[in-house]
Amino acid sequence: MTERARELWLDRVREFAQTRVAQAAAAWSLGAHPSPDFYADAAQQGLFGIEVPTELGGVGFGFAEKVLVAEILAAADFGFAMSVINTQNIALRLSISAPDAVKKRFLPDLLSGRTSACTALTEPGAGSDLAAVATTAKSSGDGWVLNGEKSWIINGRHAGLALVFAQTDKTAGLSGLGAFLVDCSSDGVTRYAIDSGFSQTSIGTGGFVLSEVQVERDKLIVPPGLAFRTIMEEINGARVYVAAMCCGMLDAALETATSYGHTRSAFGRKLKDHQAWRQALGEAETELAAIKALTAEATRRIACGQDARLAATQAKIAAVEAGQRHLPVLLHAMGAEGLRPEHCLARHLGALQTAALADGANALLKQQVAKLSRPTIPTPEA
């Protein structure tokens, strides 16, 4: 695709996000569900196949374009952005690792938005500590039998397909984990929705119980020994697009608050003409520029195949925390008006709490930054 065609594609994604998604998001934040036509429209823009090769029906772009789309969609609604990107990620994983028959069977439904999909690691007893995953996969005849429970999964409440991480050998620890493609309409799968104080409808959080679920042999998508390494690489990429989503949300909040300052008057002047009122916006703009630079560097490293563990982790920590610092201040800068659901601020503030947990809780990521930054301790001169 030419640079011009790429720009036109991004313009169409922006138009979709800023009109359709942003307008519906207020109702989603109050508990309404996105209707199927939103997924069909997202599919029409190619959003479920951003990184899927064109010969398999995708758009054929790379990681950098996924990051841009994540930022654009999250500026309108973080939950919808996460939902779309998570289905995209399963389409990409199948395009890389699945046997041809599995690709042929499932890719068309994923790319057309008819089926959503999820990556299922977390369990009621295993969140940050992935070694505690208790879902088991036992080899049986011509396939596998899965038992266990997954919870807090994006798209979990409506996913047609789940990439389930399950333990194949309890004595092998993390290297015993395999990644299995589970058809969520199979016998033995019971899905449930998870709601919270922050509406979870557009992100689709849910869980499922797996009871004696039969999985054919060719649905072992990433085998034990490779699955843990593969998912850690994916999570590293996810930290970067989550950072980009936080940039998108802070950008949208700034845009909203700034526009409001041009229309609302207090004490005989527009809010924007009060020096003290502008200071909060200036501080947020400065941090937005800093987190965009960190995110761009992490994106560049991944796109070039360089080690991006430190850059990705730092980008995610900084972007989440910048959002958490500035969103309450920007919300306050709009007075009571900021709380209305048709503005993005309260919704994005809630979403930032989710961003702080997804793809590595920030508290744990800081420990990782300390380890990765200075791996060797200089020996003091004798």
Ligand X SMILES: Cc1cc2nc3c(=O)[nH]c(=O)nc-3n(C[C@H](O)[C@H](O)[C@H](O)COP(=O)(O)OP(=O)(O)OC[C@H]3O[C@@H](n4cnc5c(N)ncnc54)[C@H](O)[C@@H]3O)c2cc1C
Instruction: Confirm or reject binding of residue 205 to ligand X (CB under 6 A).
Output: yes
**Does an H or E element contain 269, and which?**
strand 269-270
- Measured CA to CA, the distance from residue 44 to residue 64 in angstroms comes to 20
Instruction: Confirm or reject binding of residue 159 to ligand X (CB under 6 A).
Output: no
Q: Which is nearer to ligand X, 127 or 328 (CB)?
A: 127
- Measured CA to CA, the distance from residue 308 to residue 301 in angstroms comes to 6
Q: Which is nearer to ligand X, 224 or 350 (CB)?
A: 350
Q: Which residues, numbered 64-93, are part of the site for ligand X (CB under 6 A)?
A: 86
Which residue has the CB atom at the shortest distance from ligand X? 127
**Distance in Å, CB of 86 to ligand X, minimum:** 6
**Distance in Å, CB of 107 to ligand X, minimum:** 20
**Distance in Å, CB of 257 to ligand X, minimum:** 25
Q: How many CB atoms lie within 10 A of CB 137?
A: 27
Q: Which of 168, 334, 149, 319 is nearest to 246 (CA)?
A: 319
**Distance in Å, CB of 314 to ligand X, minimum:** 17
Q: Which residues, numbered 316-375, are part of the site for ligand X (CB under 6 A)?
A: 354, 357-358, 361, 363-364
Residues in binding contact with ligand X, number by CB under 6 A: 19
Strands (E), 101-240: 117-120, 136-140, 143-153, 161-167, 177-183, 189-193, 206-216, 220-222
**Distance in Å, CB of 94 to ligand X, minimum:** 17
Tokens encoding 375? 């791996």
Strand pairing partners for 214?
145
Q: Which residues of 20-37 are buried (b: 16+ CB within 10 A; e: fewer)?
A: bbbebbbbbbeeeebeee
Instruction: Confirm or reject binding of residue 174 to ligand X (CB under 6 A).
Output: no
Q: Which is nearer to ligand X, 281 or 358 (CB)?
A: 358
Q: Which of 324, 250, 281, 252 is nearest to 271 (CA)?
A: 281
Q: Which is nearer to ligand X, 131 or 364 (CB)?
A: 364
Q: Which residues, numbered 94-153, are part of the site for ligand X (CB under 6 A)?
A: 118-122, 127-128, 152-153
**Does an H or E element contain 272, and which?**
none
**Distance in Å, CB of 351 to ligand X, minimum:** 9
The residues of the shown chain that bind ligand X, judged by CB under 6 A, are 86, 118-122, 127-128, 152-154, 203, 205, 354, 357-358, 361, 363-364
